[in-house]
Amino acid sequence: MDTTSAADAATPRPATTLPGSPREHLSSPTTRAVLRLQHTVLDAAREHLGGAGFTELLPPIIGPVTDPGARGAKQVDVDYYGHRYKLMTSAILYKQASLTAFDRIFCIAPNVRLEPLETSSTSRHLAEFHQIDVEIAHASRDDAMAVAEGLVAHVLRRVVERSAGELEVLGRDPDAFADLLSGEPFERRTHTAAVADLHGLGHDQNPDAEIDWAGEAVLSAKSSRPFFLTDYPKGSRGFYDKENPARPGRLLNFDLLAPEGYGELCSGSEREHEYGTIIARMRETGENPAKYGWYLEMVRAGIPGSAGFGIGLERLTRYIAGLESVWQASAYPKVPGVVSP
Amino acid sequence: MSALTAGTFPEAAVRERARVGAAAAFPAVADYGRALFGAPSAEPTGDELDAARLVPPVFVPERLEKLIDLAREPLHGDVELGTEVGGFTSPLPLYLSAFGSTQVASADLGQAASAQAGALGVPMVIGENVVPVNGYGRLDGGGGRSLLGRISAYARAVPDGVGGVVVQQSTEDADAEVWNLVYSDPSARPLLDSGRLGFELKVGQGAKPGLGGLTVVDAADADRLSGQFAVEHVFGAGSGRALRCASPGTFTEEILRQQIRLMRNNFPRARVWVKLPPGRDVAVAAAVAWEAGADAVTVDGAEGGSGWAPTSFLSGVGLPLAECLRRIAGPAGCLLASGRVWEGSRAAKCLAAGARAVGLGRAALIAVDEDPVAGLTRLVECLSLELRLLISALGKYRVSALTPDDLWSPTGWAVPARAAVGTVTG
């Protein structure tokens, strides 16, 4: 029985500890079990996506421009022979571009985001992390959600089959995934409905914005298997999430939230791919189109419509392993603001 | 005192206030009892706010309320000047405007102004050009002149519970991610944690509505900047100097609305300010901004600004502040006004015409140039005394009690019906 009250979950659980020295962290039985479990997750993801006709690409680490859609996080500048380059905050621009090579691609992409310092106490933010990034040409949001759901279910099935020893070391009861593996589809709820739920619980959620971290934890704590939130308002996401022509102001996008209070695992959407629309959406998100030169050239020449998503690997690992903090799912964790190797 | 000049501004009067403070609110005290005073003969002025007069009534019911409250006749010292300015608590209906895109504002005057504004507890806006010109101050050694140097100077001086720092960003410095930097920087955290950090979206400015930032750069900087900005060699090949032009940015109602929502989404703990140019649709733009959740809308009249601008713009482009205020009449949110404000009378007229607070730009710059330690403090001391005298004369004891009824203008202060969002006036 889940005894977490809404009020408890509304306060992000502080990380009671920070990573120790690299030697302490790497040699701890917990870390070893977590990293072996993460290895199973990656194997299973590659197995599932490879079997479904996806080609794995190795994503770039630096480029002249990167995803601006990270909430309040600073990008890292790199001096590239006198040009200001960025470390990737996400692979989104390259994912869309890569569809001119293959219709179904994925990558295990490293991301760096200098998150606001307040995220150091959410237990779910890292300044350096990885995403299982998927993009599908000519696909709808529903298609992408189906792939995400199938991928998470497959990964969990493999973990239960192959990583029972690691789960035992971690004290994680495999029965926690029984509901997820029951074959029932993940529940879908709109952002509007989620906001109404939160208001009903007395949580002050801005209806025009992303569900805040505390709000996500409240919703997540009330569920026993992952669920989708859809139709976020424009103004809460990057320019590449497609606006719903039938519901102006709402995006054809989704988040996948883990149960038990672990919160967001994944964000995805149907993508904008029309040149003029992307320019207008860039302005709506405060961006200067001039810096997106290479990307806009590709878009102008034509890229396929698509849908896709990115699953936070360390967050997925944290949920599966039942960890208190997401940093425990990284061999060399970078907690926002904490100086570490 | 530097070589800073402001030929189009009452510079000498501002410098006097920066030296002597409240005494400058009156004629020279040495003349008391010897000279005969009276209203100066009317000088024609093209400025409608200057031409307008504050008109105290004979009957003063709010003074009666104050009298009952105090159990004695109220005086000007009983006027409460404290107010809420764009989500911050301020002891005065004032804030420090961003200084323009010039080398003037890049000198150490910025830091001197920051420290004094902090000590006064009034909110301060830091201009969009500080990072590109002086750096962040984190790894680049920009020191006190940098953005973080300015923030630190303010934060060290500001008393608990009042004031706030508002960091501006325009279309071009979205590239520099100024807001993301500040929001994630440890040195800004005390302000963020105490609810005293804000971000201002710069949609435009008074001195050159419709244009982006213009600065004069030397040849070396011209080469460096040519990748990011348009650089024009308008001053002749031998001058060694070139004109750097930024774009004004493209805005529609939807672009403005969504940019504000994104700011609220990405920086939920920061206040959101929007600075508008004196455009003919300023009332619609202000309404869109408030509706999208802006904590303040700043309107910069065409007479505002300290920066470099084409003379054709300085003399003939944009609505005067008075007309901006008239068009926005009955603001639906916190309206802030700037444009040639340096003394109490013009400030009180702006407040009566609907502004919650007024911005000091050039006046603050000149004051700290006159005295980097206390020039701004004295200027504000004088302005505050004038505000108290003027507001009490109007039979009122709170700044928020001022209304257009307190104004008389030779041309009338007729207030048009408020334009609905989605329509364009003009």
Give per-residue pLDDT as tens, A120-179.
Answer: 888 889 999 999 999 999 999 999 999 999 999 999 999 999 999 999 999 999 999 999
Check residue B80 and report its DSSP letter: B
pLDDT of residue B135: 67
pLDDT of residue A12: 33
Domain of A235, in residue numbers: 23-329
Chain A residues near residue B181 by CB distance under 8 angstroms = 74
- Where b means 16+ CB within 10 Å and e means fewer, A255-279 reads bbbbbbbbbbbbbbbbbbbebeebb
pLDDT of residue A48: 98
Return d(Cα B112, Cα A100) in angstroms, integer: 55
pLDDT of residue B101: 55
In a domain, A282, yes or no: yes
Query: Is some CB atom of chain B closer than 8 A to the CB atom of A149?
Result: no
3-state class of A310 per DSSP?
Answer: strand
CATH of the domain at A29: 3.30.930.10
Query: Is some CB atom of chain B closer than 8 A to the CB atom of A73?
Result: yes
Where is pLDDT greater, at A119 or A257?
A: A257
- Domains in chain A, number: 1
Q: What's the pLDDT band for A1 if we cut at 50, 70, 90?
A: very low
- Where b means 16+ CB within 10 Å and e means fewer, B320-350 reads bbbbbbbbbbebebbbbbbbbbbbbbbbbbb
Query: Is some CB atom of chain A closer than 8 A to the CB atom of B332?
Result: no
pLDDT of residue A7: 36
- The domain spans of chain B are 87-213+248-365
Look at A116 and B184 and tell me if their CB atoms are within 8 Å.
yes
Q: Is the pLDDT of residue A205 over 60?
A: yes
pLDDT of residue A9: 36
In the predicted model, what is the mean pLDDT of residues A168-195? 95
Query: Is some CB atom of chain B closer than 8 A to the CB atom of A287?
Result: yes
Using CB atoms, which residue from A72, A75, A283 is nearest to B183? Answer: A72
Q: What is the CATH topology of the domain spanning B87-213+248-365?
A: TIM Barrel (3.20.20)
Q: What share of chain A in percent tops pLDDT 90?
A: 84
Of A3-17, A319-333, B340-354, the least confident: A3-17
Q: Residue A87 — φ and ψ, nearest 5°?
A: -75, 145
Chain B residues near residue A71 by CB distance under 8 angstroms = 265-266
Q: Which of A92, A65, A85, A71 is nearest to A242 (CA)?
A: A92
Using CB atoms, which residue from A114, A115, A117 is nearest to B189? Answer: A117
Q: Which of A331, A157, A180, A325 is nearest to A256 (CA)?
A: A180
| Chain A, chain B: beta-carbon pairs less than 8 Å apart | 89
Q: Which of residues 225-244 of A touch B (CB under 8 A)?
A: 233-236
Q: What is the C-alpha radius of gyration for chain B, rounded to an integer number of angstroms?
A: 21
Query: Is some CB atom of chain A closer than 8 A to the CB atom of B224?
Result: no
In a domain, A119, yes or no: yes
Q: Which of B145, B140, B136 is nearest to B177 (CA)?
A: B136
Return d(Cα B377, Cα B358) in angstroms, integer: 16
Look at B175 and A288 and tell me if their CB atoms are within 8 Å.
yes
Check residue B173 and report its DSSP letter: G
pLDDT of residue B144: 61
Look at A234 and B261 and tell me if their CB atoms are within 8 Å.
yes
Look at B180 and A117 and tell me if their CB atoms are within 8 Å.
no
In a domain, A18, yes or no: no
Residue B366 and residue B16 in contact, taking contact as beta carbons nearer than 8 Å: no
Could you report the average pLDDT of every consecutive run of 10 residues in chain B (426 residues)? 67 96 91 76 74 95 96 97 98 91 62 94 86 65 71 93 93 74 88 95 87 81 74 84 85 96 94 96 98 97 74 86 94 96 97 97 92 97 98 97 93 55 42
Query: Is some CB atom of chain A closer than 8 A to the CB atom of B290?
Result: no
In a domain, A338, yes or no: no
Kind of pairing, strands B83-85 and A227-230?
unpaired
Dihedral sign for Cα atoms in the order B160, B161, B163, B168 = positive
Return d(Cα B292, Cα B290) in angstroms, integer: 5
Query: Is some CB atom of chain B closer than 8 A to the CB atom of A207?
Result: no
Where is pLDDT greater, at B100 or A194?
A: A194
Look at A210 and B249 and tell me if their CB atoms are within 8 Å.
no
